[in-house]
Structure 1
Amino acid sequence: MISKPVVAGLDFGGTKIAAAVGDLTGRRLGTTTIDSRVESGGATEAMRRGLTAARELLAEVAPDRELAGVGAATLGIPYDDRVELAPTYPGWGELPFGRLIREGFPGVPVRLATDVKAAAEAELRWGALVGCDPGLYVNLGTGLAVAIVAGGTVITGAHGASGEIGYNLRVAADVGVDAAERTILEHVVSGQALETTGSARLGRPVTAADVFTMARTQPDAAVLTDEFTQELAMHVANLAIALDPVRIVVGGGLVGSWDRIEGSLRRALDVAVPFPPELMVARFPSDAPLIGALALGVEAAGVVLGAEAFA
């Protein structure tokens, strides 16, 4: 019997690197996760360890099967010779990302994407954005970004930067002001922003999830979450006005506080948008970038994806 080929997917995040091996339908055969933060070697060592973990997983779960494609997702915008817009991970921007992935898997077709676009790919193929044209994926995690789905594909933009709303202008006075001289949206609306602001204003170290939990009983924390959700809702509503999506899907770590976020988003959409879209949590709220990386691997292998892969 001839063994069927497999694909690999890698998700490079700020705190962890996840790898998965799947068959040509995208069904996972094995998964592994390692810490991306290393004491020495920095970004280069993290990349090396991630590639090693993926190859070891392949040897474990598919030792005699051909590797037909590799998908890799990362924070920032990946190119063959660098990663743009990844300021929170020292050294990551200087890595020749695509070249290192290809060198790690010689002769194997490779597809690259941002982590948020990979997550949207997973939702488009197998999750909550199936059949939505257009659709919008909103990622509420350490950072803030969206992915636009139209015509059955995830829109990348001319430079791969479509959906990077973390750089949005917030007020009219921001017009014409360099990003380094103003407060961009991600510095106010993101998990990292809420952690920073919450720790300062609440007088002790807290995570974004802590602030949302405290907001149930503590008025000062509730003020913080209200400010957060109000500004988020404004930008999501403006996107919905511009795109007229069928559905908006929200993923990322902060969906654990969805009960504190959903109401503000729903009200803003219902009041401001001429044709209010559906709003729901992603099918894969936490590991969508890894599932999307597998989808990229399947596409790299030249296989037509099937919606039944995760049925």
Structure 2
Amino acid sequence: MATAAPDGTVLRTVRLATLACDGARTVLDRALDAARRLSGETGRDAGPLLAAGVATFGVVRDDRVLLAPNVPGWEELPLPRLLRDGLAAPAVRLDNDVNAATAAELRWGGLAGTGTGLYVNVGTGLGAGLVADGRVVRGANGAAGEIGYLLRSPGEPGHAAGRAPLEEDVSGGGLARRASVLAGREITARELFGASVPAELRVLRDRALGELAMTIANLAIVLDPERVVLGGGMAAEPALVSRVEGLLDRAAPFPPVLKPAHFGADAALRGALALALDSLSGA
């Protein structure tokens, strides 16, 4: 959580543990209390709060956040209204964390200056942010870029069955779960990219990276972006980067430039700041 000046300069920060087991309302109340304290401390030197941006997991639709099982009860809260009331800011903008990170990359990072771009976040989960006409595309229901739900083969269970086929297969979290089953012990995504990976796990990893690279190349064919930016914990893995670069060159009629994300662990935070600034400018 942070406050910033209108030019994006961070003024103060505070970090909170989510503690999802406490339930959604307690998590929200704790965050709002911290935000009000942070805003008050900043306001003594920098003036009143002008706008607030909030990045959340899930899909923001109307007055609810959907597809957000990580915090019990989060989907039942009228989150946008509660944030507007609780923060008392003249303007409040809420979006999912990947769209927020895309907004940050568009304003300050690897997508700055592009009219059409693609941000792909590959970490514990999987998601994409689409940029067209210099703006982040949210879609009719706020679910544009939810590529974790892409089907991998005809007839496989999808969202209606409570599944996210591509995310389960190629995200860091999905890879770790599949590798743990194969190895008969807990395996982390970090271990899968280490120097001494057993052959059967290396095959699993490399197939997933190939499928992920193919997905990114197909997205680039559909969108025709100027740039593709990779973010998230797996984004810097040379094995992924080389596959994506190779497939973009071979498959896309007009291969885009591939770049690493400018923001790493603080991508969602920077994204929330970008959302607040966008609300001021009407973007």
2:1 aligned with 1:22, yes or no?
no
2:160 aligned with 1:156, yes or no?
no
Task: Report deviation, 1:285.
Answer: 2.4
Question: Residues 59-78 of structure 1 correspond to what in structure 2 (within 5 A)?
Answer: 59-63=40-44, 65-78=47-60
Please tell me whether the aligned partners of residues 24 and 303 of structure 1 are also in contact (alpha carbons under 8 angstroms): no
2:37 aligned with 1:56, yes or no?
yes
The aligned counterpart of 2:217 is: 237
Point out the more displaced range, 147-156 or 72-81.
Answer: 72-81
The aligned counterpart of 1:180 is: 161
Which AA in structure 1 matches 2:114? C
3-state SS, counterpart of residue 61 of structure 1:
helix
2:84 aligned with 1:102, yes or no?
yes
2:29 aligned with 1:44, yes or no?
no
Please tell me whether the aligned partners of residues 249 and 280 of structure 1 are also in contact (alpha carbons under 8 angstroms): yes
Distance 1:275 1:301 in 2: 35
2:115 aligned with 1:115, yes or no?
no
The aligned counterpart of 1:14 is: none
Task: Report deviation, 1:269.
Answer: 1.3
Q: Evaluate the alpha carbon distance shift between residue 107 and residue 251 of structure 1 in structure 2; reply closer, same or farther with a 3 A threshold.
A: closer
Distance 1:239 1:111 in 2: 27
Residue by residue over 1:154-193, the C-alpha shift from the partner in whole angstroms, topping out at 9 and shown as x without a partner, is: 1111111111111111113349x66417662111121221
Please tell me whether the aligned partners of residues 60 and 66 of structure 2 are also in contact (alpha carbons under 8 angstroms): yes
The TM-score, its normalising length taken from structure 1, stands at 0.84
2:190 aligned with 1:190, yes or no?
no
Distance 1:117 1:182 in 2: 21
Identity score, percent: 45
Task: Report deviation, 1:80.
Answer: 5.2
2:280 aligned with 1:298, yes or no?
no
Give 4+ residue runs of structure 1 displaced > 4 Å after superposition.
Answer: none
Question: Residues 212-227 of structure 1 correspond to what in structure 2 (within 5 A)?
Answer: 212-213=193-194, 216-227=196-207
Distance 1:263 1:221 in 2: 19
Point out the more displaced range, 185-194 or 88-97.
Answer: 88-97
Give ranges in structure 1 of 5+ residues lacking alignment.
1-18, 305-311
Distance 1:284 1:60 in 2: 26
3-state SS, counterpart of residue 265 of structure 2:
coil
2:120 aligned with 1:138, yes or no?
yes
Distance 2:11 2:89 in 1: 22
Please tell me whether the aligned partners of residues 52 and 89 of structure 2 are also in contact (alpha carbons under 8 angstroms): no
3-state SS, counterpart of residue 34 of structure 1:
coil
Residue by residue over 1:237-294, the C-alpha shift from the partner in whole angstroms, topping out at 9 and shown as x without a partner, is: 11111111111001112225x2121111112212211121111210112212211111
Q: Superposition RMSD on alpha carbons, in Å? A: 2.1
Distance 1:112 1:118 in 2: 9
The aligned counterpart of 1:250 is: 230
Task: Report deviation, 1:303.
Answer: 7.3
Which AA in structure 1 matches 2:238? D
Question: Which residue, 245, 250, 256 being the options, matches 1:277?
Answer: 256
Distance 2:20 2:110 in 1: 35
3-state SS, counterpart of residue 30 of structure 1:
strand
3-state SS, counterpart of residue 112 of structure 1:
strand
Which AA in structure 1 matches 2:232? G
Distance 1:122 1:259 in 2: 24
